[in-house]
């Protein structure tokens, strides 16, 4: 199963995978039905989750129903329990909208919700994150998760995120991060897809972020809170929801 998923992820472009997923999710959800693990996004339980990963697939991490990963389920719980995202009237800009969230966020009556991306079929507005077509101080909330590691000029992208966020607004900017690494590693000379997957973890990533990611956000102007939300959860809940213990949520304010 791990080899099959690795083959599919590396063979099929991401936009095509998104479209294909809508057909296969009901099959996965039925096949893996059980009560060992629960996806908090839709409340459904399963005997097991699916493997996922481009280079070295992780076991038991991909929800059969929402196709959420550890980071998605962690973010859902954080938004639900620690923010007013599901209740307050908010103007939200969501980059590269995740399938696990898209329909649920779209249905929330309290949100003025806009999605954007260059390639995603779920994007309302096709736009370059380094040159956004939005006015200054436009949004109460910006969600930009697992996007910046794809962007060669991530400084410019961060500046654009800061520009469109309203004073007093907040955002969550998740990235794949090696917390054992003090400084971010990138090497633009690495262009081979297999080599990128081996070094960066995915063929379309251009860097591995270290702990200095938070200070880089601060240098842009953000106030940054490094939220280890799993530290507030019991070991039983972490295992039940299949979360990555110790993963940091970068919560920013302007």
Neighbouring residues of 235: CB distance < 8 A, sequence distance ≥ 6: none
- What mean pLDDT comes out for the span 164-188? 96
Q: Tell me if 49 sits within 8 A of 61, measured CB to CB.
A: yes
Are 193 and 240 in a shared domain?
yes
* 12 or 123: which leads in pLDDT: 123
Q: Pairing mode, if any, of strands 125-126 and 111-117?
A: parallel
Q: Where is the domain boundary, 23, 40, 69?
A: 69
pLDDT computed for residue 8 by the predictor: 44
Is the confidence at residue 141, as pLDDT, over 90?
Answer: yes
137 band by pLDDT with thresholds 50, 70 and 90? very high
Tokens 């997957």 found at: 197
237 band by pLDDT with thresholds 50, 70 and 90? very high
Is the confidence at residue 1, as pLDDT, over 70?
Answer: no
Neighbours of 139 (CB within 10 A): 23
Structure tokens given for 42: 């839709």
Q: Could you give the percent of the chain with pLDDT greater than 70?
A: 87
Structure tokens given for 187: 């090497």
Tokens 């996965």 found at: 28
Structure tokens given for 227: 């939220």
26 band by pLDDT with thresholds 50, 70 and 90? low
Q: Where is the domain boundary, 47, 69, 91?
A: 69
Are 187 and 142 in a shared domain?
yes
* 121 or 184: which leads in pLDDT: 184
pLDDT computed for residue 33 by the predictor: 86
Rg (CA), the chain: 18
- CA-CA-CA-CA torsion for 126, 223, 217, 175, nearest 10 degrees? -70
Are 145 and 32 in a shared domain?
no
DSSP secondary structure letter of residue 128: B
Are 121 and 21 in a shared domain?
no
pLDDT in tens, 187-226: 888 888 888 888 888 888 999 999 999 999 999 999 999 9
6 band by pLDDT with thresholds 50, 70 and 90? very low
pLDDT in tens, 82-135: 999 999 999 999 999 999 999 999 999 999 999 999 988 889 999 999 999 999
3-state secondary structure at position 92: strand
Are 27 and 79 in a shared domain?
no
Is the confidence at residue 7, as pLDDT, over 50?
Answer: no
pLDDT computed for residue 3 by the predictor: 54
The total number of structural domains in the chain stands at: 2
Reported pTM: 0.87
C-alpha closest to that of 188 among 179, 199, 173: 199
Are 217 and 94 in a shared domain?
yes
Are 61 and 79 in a shared domain?
no
pLDDT computed for residue 197 by the predictor: 81
Task: State the residue range of the domain holding 119.
Answer: 71-253
pLDDT in tens, 43-68: 999 999 988 877 677 899 999 999 99
């Amino acid at each position: 199963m791990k080899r099959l998923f690795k083959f599919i992820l590396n063979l099929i472009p991401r936009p095509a995978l998104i479209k294909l997923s809508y057909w296969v999710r009901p099959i996965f959800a039925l096949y893996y039905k059980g009560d060992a693990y629960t996806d908090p996004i839709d409340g459904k339980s399963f005997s097991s989750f699916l493997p996922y990963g481009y280079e070295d697939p992780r076991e038991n991490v991909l929800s059969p129903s929402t196709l959420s990963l550890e980071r998605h389920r962690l973010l859902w719980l954080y938004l639900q329990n620690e923010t007013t995202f599901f209740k307050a009237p908010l103007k939200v800009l969501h980059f590269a909208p995740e399938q696990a969230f898209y329909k649920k966020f779209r249905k929330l009556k309290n949100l003025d919700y806009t999605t954007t991306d260059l390639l995603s079929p779920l994007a309302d507005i096709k736009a370059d994150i380094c040159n956004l077509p939005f006015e200054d101080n436009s949004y109460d909330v910006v969600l930009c998760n697992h996007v910046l590691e794809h962007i060669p000029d991530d400084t410019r992208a961060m500046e654009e995120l800061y520009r469109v966020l309203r004073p007093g607004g907040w955002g969550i900017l998740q990235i794949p991060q090696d917390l054992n690494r003090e400084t971010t590693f990138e090497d633009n000379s690495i262009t081979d897809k297999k080599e990128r997957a081996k070094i960066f973890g995915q063929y379309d990533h251009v860097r591995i972020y270290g702990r200095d990611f938070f200070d880089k956000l601060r240098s842009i102007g953000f106030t940054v809170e490094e939220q280890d939300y799993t530290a507030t959860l019991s070991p039983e809940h972490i295992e039940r929801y299949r979360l990555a213990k110790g993963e940091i949520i970068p919560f920013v304010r302007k």
